[in-house]
């Protein structure tokens, strides 16, 4: 494991990372079997289908990023992120920590996770853990889940998981949920 402090932006395959471990910008492949720890990082995942657009942008207070044999994965602490849907920013997320990788394009956040819709002002989702599936444009929240719709004021408190699209416009609870209408 290599330890670095704030430095330059590097590009690793499709994953652009500040303070990473690969090769300087312009190179097209990541090193494998390499890892980095550091503080104050920004992780950008470009959208391979939309030039100049992103799948997600994430900022972390501390991080550990590894490149085992395929792709890049990381564990980050003190995170805030912007999640994109169809090339446009659709939600923000904040959590105590998160894990993610650029092969599966998922982010698993935990520790007081808060997701706020950028398309539905006032719409918020809180949970112990939230998994964001970029390819499905979907979040799944578990543990002490609370959802409030900014337009209608409706709240949902499921006893299990709550599934929503990335912008939190569409939500579903597959188990018993307490729904309160204003």
| CATH label of the domain that carries residue 93 | 2.60.450.10
At 19 the pLDDT is 31
CB atoms within 10 A of CB 96: 14
Please, which pLDDT band fits residue 180 given cuts at 50, 70 and 90?
low
Are the C-beta atoms of residues 141 and 132 closer than 8 Å to each other?
Answer: no
The percentage of the chain sitting over the pLDDT mark of 90, rounded to a whole number, equals 43
Please, which pLDDT band fits residue 16 given cuts at 50, 70 and 90?
very low
139 has a pLDDT exceeding 90: yes
**Which one has a higher pLDDT value, 130 or 107?**
130
Please, which pLDDT band fits residue 11 given cuts at 50, 70 and 90?
very low
Is the torsion defined by CA of 68, 38, 93, 9 positive or negative?
Answer: negative
**Mean pLDDT confidence for 17-45:** 50
- For tokens 């659709």, the residue is 90
**Mean pLDDT confidence for 13-39:** 41
Q: CA distances (Å), 56 to each of 69, 80, 140, 171, in order?
A: 23, 11, 17, 21
At 133 the pLDDT is 92
At 168 the pLDDT is 94
Distance CA 53, CA 108 (A): 22
Q: Which pair of tokens denotes residue 7?
A: 């430095």
Range of the domain at 25: 2-180
Distance CA 84, CA 133 (A): 11
65 has a pLDDT exceeding 60: yes
Please, which pLDDT band fits residue 101 given cuts at 50, 70 and 90?
confident
Supply φ then ψ for residue 134, to 5 degrees: -60, -45
Total structural domains in the chain?
A: 1
Distance CA 141, CA 115 (A): 10
129 has a pLDDT exceeding 70: yes
Of 118, 140, 117, nearest in space to 127 by CA: 140
């Amino acid at each position: 494991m290599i330890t670095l402090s704030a430095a330059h932006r590097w590009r690793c395959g499709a994953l652009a990372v500040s303070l990473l471990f690969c090769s300087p910008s312009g190179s097209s492949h990541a090193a494998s079997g390499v890892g980095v720890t550091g503080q104050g990082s920004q992780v950008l995942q470009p959208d391979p289908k939309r030039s100049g657009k992103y799948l997600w942008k994430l900022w972390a207070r501390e991080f550990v990023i590894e490149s085992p044999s395929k792709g890049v994965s990381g564990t980050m602490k003190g995170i805030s992120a912007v999640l994109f849907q169809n090339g446009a920013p659709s939600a923000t997320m904040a959590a105590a920590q998160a894990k993610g990788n650029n092969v599966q394009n998922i982010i698993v956040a935990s520790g007081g996770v808060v997701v706020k819709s950028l398309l539905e002002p006032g719409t918020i989702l809180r949970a112990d853990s939230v998994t964001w599936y970029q390819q499905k444009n979907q979040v799944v929240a578990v543990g002490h889940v609370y959802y409030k719709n900014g337009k209608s004021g409706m709240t949902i408190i499921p006893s299990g998981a709550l599934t929503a699209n990335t912008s939190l416009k569409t939500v579903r609870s597959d188990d018993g949920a307490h729904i309160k209408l204003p």
